[in-house]
């Protein structure tokens, strides 16, 4: 036999040996349900990573307007008791170190991505517009004008809003209270620097509107102009 024939015979023998091992494996096929579950786990992981990035971005820029949520405290002697405050579908909860959590009821039943875009439809043509974030989980835009007025608008998925933890000082002008925004009951408060703040739930998403240099009525009018655009 020539060298080529010897080499060919050796390769053929090795191939047949590997093939016999493969053919001896049990006949198994991945179920479609398992395949779907694996895809879902991968998507969930990627969304979680996006959420962590978005939350970090929000916390690093939130100082622009000192956007925050506080919990009312009642003094008892020399100490104090943290009070939970409930709205229709969310609550404020103290988590320690002057940090407060925004808890949403049943966030898993709502869209995990922003499928419907809601925007302020009031005329803000005199304002400069800066989009801070526009992702599958949140939309955040800031409007400013030459007179010093600033408007900050956010649309979140409930899963993202449910992860927020924000701290604020004690010198709040108006403590968190309920106010009507059309058919919805909103959280309303005025922060120490006079910024008007509204948060509400439309059933699918959480919305936040903060305004510096505007009255409560003007801020509520802007909130009422938030409409589905896409």
pLDDT in tens, 156-202: 998 888 867 765 566 778 877 889 999 898 888 888 888 999 989 89
In angstroms, rounded to a whole number, what is the distance separating the alpha carbons of residues 143 and 50?
Answer: 25
For residue 33, tell me if it sits in a domain: no
Q: How far apart are CA 166 and CA 65, in angstroms?
A: 13
pLDDT at 83: 41
pLDDT digits (tens, 9 = 90+) for 110-160: 899 999 999 999 999 999 999 999 999 999 999 999 999 999 999 999 888
**Residue pLDDT, tens place only, 68-125:** 344 333 333 334 434 445 566 777 777 766 567 778 878 888 899 999 999 999 999 9
Structure-model confidence comparison of residues 64 and 185, the more confident one: 185
Strands, sheet with 85-86, edge to edge from the N-terminal-most edge strand = 85-86, 90-96, 99-104, 165-167
Residue closest to 143 by CA, chosen among 160, 161, 123, 157: 123
What distance lies between CA 81 and its chain's CA centroid? 29
| Domain-located, residue 167 | yes
Q: Domain limits at 150?
A: 41-228
User: pTM score, two decimals?
Assistant: 0.62
Q: For position 165, what pLDDT does the model report?
A: 73
Tell me, yes or no, whether 72 lies in a domain. Answer: yes
Residue 6 lies in a domain: no
Between 63 and 85, whose confidence is greater? 85
- Whether 18 maps to a domain, the answer reads no
Query: In this structure, is residue 26 part of a structural domain?
Result: no
Q: Can you give the pLDDT at residue 99?
A: 66
CA triple 36-41-47, angle to 5 deg? 125
Answer whether residue 64 is part of any domain: yes
Domain count, the chain: 1
Q: Is the pLDDT of residue 37 over 50?
A: yes
Whether 141 is in a domain gets the answer yes
């Amino acid at each position: 036999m020539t060298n080529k024939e010897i080499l060919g015979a050796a390769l053929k023998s090795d191939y047949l040996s590997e093939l016999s091992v493969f053919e001896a494996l049990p006949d198994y096929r991945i179920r479609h349900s398992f395949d779907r579950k694996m895809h879902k786990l991968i998507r969930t992981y990627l969304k979680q990573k996006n959420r962590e990035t978005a939350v970090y971005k929000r916390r690093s820029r939130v100082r622009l307007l000192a956007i925050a949520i506080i919990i009312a405290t009642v003094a008892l002697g020399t100490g104090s008791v943290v009070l939970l405050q409930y709205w229709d579908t969310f609550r404020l909860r103290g988590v320690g170190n002057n940090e407060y959590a925004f808890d949403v009821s049943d966030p898993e039943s709502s869209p995990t991505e922003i499928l419907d875009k809601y925007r302020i439809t009031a005329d803000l043509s005199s304002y400069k517009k800066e989009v801070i974030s526009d992702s599958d989980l949140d939309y955040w835009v800031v409007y400013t004008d030459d007179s010093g007025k600033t408007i900050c608008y956010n649309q979140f998925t409930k899963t993202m809003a449910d992860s927020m933890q924000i701290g604020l000082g004690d010198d709040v002008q108006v403590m968190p209270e309920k106010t009507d925004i059309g058919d919805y009951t909103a959280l309303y408060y005025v922060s120490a620097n006079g910024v008007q703040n509204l948060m509400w739930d439309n059933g699918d998403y959480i919305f936040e509107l903060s305004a510096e240099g505007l009255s409560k009525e003007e801020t509520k009018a802007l909130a009422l102009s938030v409409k589905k655009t896409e």
